[in-house]
Structure 1
Amino acid sequence: MLQGSDLFAIEDGTLTEIALPATDQGAQPTSMARGADGSIYVAGPGLGVWRYDSAGESWQSLNDTLPDLGVTAMAAHATQPGTLYAYLGKDGMFRSRDGGAKWVRVDSGPPEPVLAFLHSDMPGSMESGWLFAATTRGVSRSMDCFCFWGDAGDLRGTVSAIGYDPAAPENVYAVIEGQLHHSADGGETWISLKTPQSVTALAFSPSQGLVVGTANGSLLARGGADQWTPVHE
């Protein structure tokens, strides 16, 4: 989970901080994704895309075939370990099917700028899943054949974070101005959820379920309808 300028792995209710890749430019990641095989990726403007090697506790750059390092958001395929997506603003959406060795432009992306996005294996796609993009207008959605980008419901505003439940992929979550929103039907309709603090980040942990980062730096796991408990280091 990327919380501000810190990256955490959440396993069995325990937080482990992971040192971020060091670059000459000092660029910081703005996007994080976990691959279908558990691999951790980060991306950001001036940083490009990097993969974490947990065995060697080191980072590998995956930028050799990207047009530049202006990656503002990235996602990993829900079920295909080697398939990654990167959004480079005006350069559009790029996909790699070999773990980042080769990137190919596949789409221009939604009409509005993308701040974050994810890949979901929610049923109903004509290919292998769906892409949900957090944009400056709301949540945009497309099958991963890149057939068409359309609004995911009528949620409006700048979406700063987006996530979904891998065990029930029709459950999608989005953050607008610190407010957490939930869709139980793949983005068709949305409701607001109560949280103790303004939300700045969100992720799903196999052991904790939905975890949010808050404005005061806390990480909280959702235990029930309005119940949130701290995730301990």
Structure 2
Amino acid sequence: MPRKPIPALSRRMFLIASAAAAGTLALPMGILAAEPEHPAVATLAFDGDALLAGGASLIRSDDGGHSWTELSAPEVIQTLATHSERPGRVLAGLASGGVALSEDGGRTWESRSDGLPAGQVDAVAIASQQPNMIYATVRDDGLWKSEDSGESWSFAMDRPWLEEAERNVLTLSSVDLATGMGGIWIYAGTEAGLTRVPDCFCRWQDVQPGDAMDALVSGDAPPSEAPLPEGEAVRALASSPSAPETLYSALPSGIWTSRDGGVVWSHLVEGSASAAAVHPSDPMQVVAVLDGVLQISRDGGATWTALAVD
């Protein structure tokens, strides 16, 4: 199948926001001047040590957020995913529909949307053990998968049923845990809470103690003793391959973390959190958007520092 290049957006002039003096986020003009329906930073991802921030534009920092470079963006980016075993590989879900793939850290892009239905792509993920296996959720449709890096797609399963309604998936994370079938869980944050499915795609299920087979038998496993807040939207999920049992989530109430694969959660910091990512080899290094400000923690969320362009 021929690959279709995506035309790059024109580069925008870089400006420094006056808010930098107050310790708030300062980003290039294209990020600051985002349209209201498209957040300034909708999604974050680590590509090795580099940090990517996507939304109305796309920027990359290769020095821990001290300086930024604006990259060509394949339209408005809704969500990003990377893989620790494939440096440079970046998967983007687009607000206008479809997905795009970069193999050079976000500098150039190719469309990988043939076979996907129309509609905004809210979440993407790359399988933790298989970098050519990718997942995408389409607004008001369901979960789709590709085994060839997006050259072709097949329908995997419907949207989760939570609180008496089918819910859109806002974020995905493929997590390598022994309790999953084949060692894999696909965690999904929805507009009404957290759910997950083993890689058999048998059934969406609550996060509970025990393995996948226990959870598939209704009532066989007890519910979590300390779940995320009931009914709250889970806007972002992040897991480091170096410590897959440690999860971070971004909710309207702040950043939460779990050290046991999502069974027990603790509240790290208050504020409206809309995006999060964790370093692939350092699970203590986390970035998040809190109350519209891009911040970084290097101690697992105990303390936070705002990032700004010098």
1:13-52 pair list within 5 angstroms: 13-14=64-65, 16-23=68-75, 28-35=76-83, 36-38=85-87, 39-52=89-102
**Residue number in structure 2 paired with 1:126:** 181
**2:305 corresponding residue in structure 1:** 229
* Alignment match of 1:200 (pick from 274, 283, 301): 274
Q: CA deviation at 1:130?
A: 0.7
Which position in structure 1 is the counterpart of 2:204?
A: 149
Q: Which amino acid aligns with 1:165?
A: S
Aligned 1:101-112 pairs, distance under 5 A? 101-111=151-161, 112=167
Is the 1:133–1:141 contact (alpha carbons within 8 Å) kept by the matching residues of 2? Answer: yes
Q: Sequence identity of aligned pairs in percent? A: 29
CA RMSD of aligned residues (A): 2.5
List structure 1 segments (4+ residues) > 6 angstroms apart after TM superposition.
none
Aligned length: 228
Match of 1:91 in 2: 141
SS, match of residue 46 in structure 1:
coil
- Can you give the 5+ residue segments of structure 2 that lack an aligned partner in the other structure? 1-43, 45-52, 162-166, 208-223
CA contact (8 A) 1:85 1:95 kept: yes
C-alpha contact (below 8 Å) 2:241/2:281 kept by paired residues: no
For residues 179 and 276 of structure 2, the distance between their equivalents in structure 1, rounded to whole angstroms, comes to: 25
| CA shift in 2, pair 1:186/1:55, >3 Å | closer
Tell me the TM-score normalized by structure 2: 0.66
Taking structure 1 as the reference length, the TM-score comes to 0.86
Moved more, 57-66 or 4-13: 4-13
- CA separation of 1:56/1:45 partners in 2, compared to 1, >3 Å: closer, same or farther? closer
The structure with more helix, counted as a fraction of residues: 2
Cα separation, 2, equivalents of 1:34 and 1:101: 17
Describe the SS at the equivalent of 1:127: helix
Q: Which piece of structure 1 moves more, 97-106 or 56-65?
A: 56-65
Displacement of 1:6 in angstroms is 4.3
Task: Using the TM superposition, give the Cα deviation of residue 184 of structure 1 relative to its aligned residue in structure 2, in angstroms.
Answer: 1.1
Counterparts of residues 56-67 of structure 1 (less than 5 Å): 57-67=107-117
